[in-house]
Chain A
Amino acid sequence: MLTRFEHYAVTELMGKPETPPRSNGTLCFGHEWERTAFGVALALTKQGYFEWDDFRDELIAEIGAWEAANPTDRSSWNYYECWLAALEKAVVKAGLLAAQDIHCAR
């Protein structure tokens, strides 16, 4: 069956802790940078720089690390902070940018 990558990418994350926040059938972004982080991750995967599964593994690892660091008080949870951290790691692993470049540019 013909499936658009955009749809595949999001539904692959459904029903799991790494599911993107959404409401009434649309994605929810609290801030512009969250929308950018989402779009860049999808674009880089679509352009073949890394596999969606690899990005998802980074995202799961980031969420796991956040949960381990915040075992009781989860009031500071932000899904897209984990997404952004995963994206930075995926970009470095794919050899697109050096970790040093990202660090210096912040």
Chain B
Amino acid sequence: MEDLFNYREDREAYSAARMRALEDLLIKKGIITDRTVDTVLDFFETRMGPFNGAKIVARAWIDAAFKERLVADAPSAIAELALPEGMAGAEGEHVRAVANAPGLHNLILCTLCSCYPWPVLGLPPYWYKDPTFRSRAAREPRAVLKEFGLEIPESVEVKIWDSSAQVRWFVVPERPAGTESLSEAELETLVTPEAMMGVAIAKAA
């Protein structure tokens, strides 16, 4: 066991050294700078990702008027928040929100990952592009949701929203019970990409 552990440690150290050597050579040649990697990753880590969707949903939970505006005209409502540029413009301009409510559960689908509202939800999970998931979710959403561990009672309507090049949907989940005392920032941590896709619900921590 210890041998195996050492072996893995060595491999990590070797890969790290190899990458450092490659980066150093590219920097020395003036092809990249020591800021290049951070600039690229900044896009994924701080600009476009599910943290944006979490901010939008948390605001909708604490501000009913904002939620109304969000469902009526998502780009305009999102533009009210101090999110990175591109959220409600460029690709995000066709983003639309649907809100879960007592008696209504929403589920989003899409035919291609380019139709995923990625500035808000981040990178789609591997199964999102799966043709079986897409056709089954459209045909028997309750059975598919059950496989995700989400049982929707018969009394609750399930609506499917198929994203396209024109419109990309995301779900505003219901605010979990027992979260009345939480701050907006604390609420944000309860909003998962899965809940904004409708394959889960938001839960109190």
Q: Which residues of A contact B (CB under 8 A)?
A: 1-4, 6-7, 10-11, 14-15, 19, 22, 24-27, 31-33, 35-40, 42-44, 46-47, 49, 76, 78, 80-81, 84, 87-88, 91, 96-97, 101-102, 105-106
Contact = CB atoms under 8 A, between A and B. Distances in A.
Q: Which of B8, B21, B40, B194 has the most CB of A within 10 A?
A: B40
B43 to A, nearest CB: 5
A6 B36 CA distance: 13
Given A1-B114, A7-B118, A22-B123, A39 B38 contact: yes
Given A11-B114, A11-B123, A40-B26, 12 more contacts: A2-B90, A4-B90, A6-B44, A14-B123, A15-B129, A24-B194, A33-B15, A38-B41, A40-B23, A46-B40, A76-B11, A81-B11
B130 interface: yes
Contacts of B40: 6, 38-39, 42-43, 46
Nearest to A88: B22
Given A43-B32, A81-B15, A106-B21, A24 B126 contact: no
A87 B18 CA distance: 11
A19 B129 CA distance: 12
Contacts of A46: 40
Classify chain B's interface size. 35 or more
Interface stretch (B45-53, B64-72, B101-109, B143-151): B45-53
A36 B86 CA distance: 25
A35 B125 CA distance: 19
Contacts, number: 137
Given A7-B48, A106-B18, A36 B91 contact: no
23 contacts: A1-B114, A2-B90, A3-B91, A6-B40, A6-B44, A11-B114, A15-B129, A25-B123, A26-B45, A26-B50, A27-B123, A33-B12, A33-B15, A33-B16, A37-B19, A38-B40, A43-B32, A43-B36, A84-B15, A84-B18, A87-B22, A88-B18, A105-B21
Nearest to B43: A6
A96 B25 CA distance: 10
Contacts of B100: none
A17 to B, nearest CB: 11
B100 to A, nearest CB: 19
Contacts of A84: 15, 18-19, 22
B112 to A, nearest CB: 9
A18 to B, nearest CB: 12
B17 A106 contact: yes
A35 B37 contact: yes
B31 A49 contact: yes
Interface in B63-102: 86, 90-91
B26 A25 contact: no
